[in-house]
């Protein structure tokens, strides 16, 4: 009954257009009334305590780092280097997009920011080169959702904070799955573009390629600093986020000289707004999480899913399918914040490795950003690239299926995540 009330109130609030954060508070109030106690102080305290976590400081700094990279020219130099290396290949701009999305994912950790940057720079060029708008936009969107997987990932920071596990471990575990997503896009793009009559860019002389790589080198050093520092233990994920901000500022202002005081100020404003939304969502999700625990909902769900408890892989598959389905109607962040308090105790009871589950669960949630009708990344690419949304939806399907295939591969073979993780650690 408690679970039914929680789901019914949540769905009803969302259907009436109530913002997700307030929907979570309404769910909390409904559960309080059902449990026959109501205390407004409990709501306020849980919102405050939910965001009172040193680890979560990494979120606003990584968001700010992403904004500074886009405004400081780091993202542009990476795309130019990829174009110099792959632009002359048949369907080369598609490979440029995949390469650039993988590198940019290791810089910002934001699917929205990466997708917007890629669409603004590459989509007009692909259109002029005779590339189909739908397939081109779909590829850029599918490349953008690698960002929540490849470290530094804001989503993995949130998962680690809520599950109380090592964020560095999550980062290391997610590297190979993120690369596998990029490889799946390369294979799919090769298949999709095999019969296309695309304009091919002129092959650049080796000297020009080396020059483009040299110009992008300051941007390419950042992920090495972040991952290397975490691996050696020089700094924590939160400190890594601060270092990313400082490095992006110095490179954008003094090396590329594109980051002005005005653009720096605007980056602060945009990062502050985005951070406020994310942190408020985290705080309000803690209200529901606390009441879910008080109402003993995890135990009820464990009882319901007892047939799957003895087969951890089957349980993970059920959770993945549920996450993909809910991703069609919920945005990435609220989806994860709603499901985490329920799924984490469930997986612990089934003795599932939480780092492995964090990577798989985050990937399933990220792919929800490619599914209509919500599909925020699809909307961003369509809006920035000025392409009809229905074209993007049709064009993204082959790439979405390829990334789902990678996800199912991780479910079937957990060692793909756990073995490299142990080697890194």
Q: What percent of the chain has pLDDT over 70?
A: 92
Which pLDDT score, from 0 to 100, does residue 117 have?
Answer: 75
DSSP code at position 89: S
**Dist CA 416 CA 171 (whole Å):** 14
Number of other residues whose CB lies within 10 A of the CB of residue 116? 21
Which pLDDT score, from 0 to 100, does residue 199 have?
Answer: 60
Examine the pLDDT at 164 and tell me if it is beyond 70.
Answer: yes
Which pLDDT score, from 0 to 100, does residue 186 have?
Answer: 93
Residue 36 Cα to chain centre, angstroms = 38
- Mean pLDDT of the chain, nearest integer: 82
Most confident of 120-129, 204-213, 295-304: 204-213
The residue ranges of every structural domain in the chain are 39-424
Which pLDDT score, from 0 to 100, does residue 360 have?
Answer: 94
pLDDT band for position 206 (50/70/90)? Answer: confident
Which pLDDT score, from 0 to 100, does residue 425 have?
Answer: 59
**Residue the block writes with tokens 């991703």:** 327
pLDDT band for position 358 (50/70/90)? Answer: very high
Residue range 248-263, pLDDT digits in tens? 899 999 998 888 999 9
* In contact, 160 and 172? CB cutoff 8 Å: no
Residue from 122, 181, 117, 115 nearest 150 by CA: 181
**Dist CA 137 CA 382 (whole Å):** 7
Ramachandran bin of 165, using left for φ above 0, alpha for ψ from -120 to 50, beta for the remaining angles: beta
Which pLDDT score, from 0 to 100, does residue 187 have?
Answer: 94
Which pLDDT score, from 0 to 100, does residue 287 have?
Answer: 78
Q: Kindly state the average pLDDT of the residues 142-155.
A: 87
Which pLDDT score, from 0 to 100, does residue 196 have?
Answer: 63
Q: Kindly state the average pLDDT of the residues 22-30.
A: 82
149 phi, psi to nearest 5 deg:
-100, -55
Residue from 359, 92, 99 nearest 199 by CA: 92
pLDDT band for position 361 (50/70/90)? Answer: very high
Which pLDDT score, from 0 to 100, does residue 152 have?
Answer: 78
Residue from 207, 174, 250 nearest 407 by CA: 174
Q: Kindly state the average pLDDT of the residues 349-357.
A: 89
Residues 6+ apart with CB under 8 A from 267: 64, 67, 68, 71
Q: How many residues does the chain have?
A: 425
Examine the pLDDT at 79 and tell me if it is beyond 90.
Answer: no
Residue 24 or residue 402, greater confidence: 402
Residue 153 or residue 177, greater confidence: 177
Least confident of 133-137, 271-275, 413-417: 271-275
Which pLDDT score, from 0 to 100, does residue 294 have?
Answer: 75
Least confident of 127-141, 230-244, 384-398, 405-419: 230-244
Q: Kindly state the average pLDDT of the residues 300-311.
A: 73
Least confident of 55-59, 128-132, 397-401, 414-418: 55-59
């Amino acid at each position: 009954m408690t679970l039914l009330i929680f789901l019914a109130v949540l769905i009803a609030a969302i259907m009436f257009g109530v913002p997700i954060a307030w929907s979570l508070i309404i769910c909390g109030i409904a559960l309080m009334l059902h449990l026959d106690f109501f205390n407004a102080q409990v709501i306020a305290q849980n919102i405050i305590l939910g965001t009172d976590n040193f680890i979560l400081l990494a979120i606003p700094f990584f968001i700010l780092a992403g904004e500074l990279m886009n405004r400081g020219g780091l993202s542009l130099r990476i795309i130019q280097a990829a174009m110099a290396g792959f632009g002359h290949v048949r369907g080369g701009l598609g490979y440029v997009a995949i390469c650039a999305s993988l590198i940019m994912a290791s810089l910002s950790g934001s699917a929205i920011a990466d997708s917007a940057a890629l669409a603004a720079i590459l989509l007009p060029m692909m259109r002029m080169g005779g590339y189909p708008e739908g397939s081109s936009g779909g590829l850029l969107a599918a490349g953008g959702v690698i960002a929540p997987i490849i470290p530094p990932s804001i989503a993995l920071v949130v998962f680690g904070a809520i599950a109380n596990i090592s964020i560095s471990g999550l980062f290391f575990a997610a590297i190979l799955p993120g690369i596998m997503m990029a490889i799946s896009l390369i294979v799919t793009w090769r298949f999709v573009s095999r019969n296309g009559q695309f304009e091919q860019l002129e092959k650049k002389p080796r000297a020009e390629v080396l020059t483009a790589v040299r110009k992008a080198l300051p941007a390419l050093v950042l992920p090495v600093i972040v991952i290397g520092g975490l691996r050696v233990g020089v700094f924590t994920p939160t400190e890594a986020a601060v270092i990313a901000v400082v490095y992006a500022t110095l490179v954008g202002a003094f090396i590329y000289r594109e980051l002005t005081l005005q653009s720096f100020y605007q980056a602060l404003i945009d990062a502050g707004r985005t951070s406020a939304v994310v942190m408020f969502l985290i705080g309000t999700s803690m209200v529901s999480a606390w009441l879910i625990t008080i109402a003993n909902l995890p135990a009820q769900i464990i009882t319901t899913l007892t047939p799957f408890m003895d087969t951890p892989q089957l349980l993970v598959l059920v959770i993945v399918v549920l996450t993909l389905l809910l991703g069609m109607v919920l945005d990435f962040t609220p989806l994860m914040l709603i499901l985490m308090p329920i799924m984490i105790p469930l997986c612990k009871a089934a003795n599932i490795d939480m780092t492995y589950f964090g990577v798989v669960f985050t990937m399933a949630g990220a792919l929800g950003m490619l599914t209509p009708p919500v599909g925020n990344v699809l909307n961003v690419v369509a809006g920035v690239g000025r392409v009809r949304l229905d074209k993007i939806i049709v064009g993204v399907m082959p790439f979405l299926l390829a990334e789902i295939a990678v996800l199912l591969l991780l479910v079937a073979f957990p060692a793909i995540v756990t073995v490299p993780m142990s080697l890194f650690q």
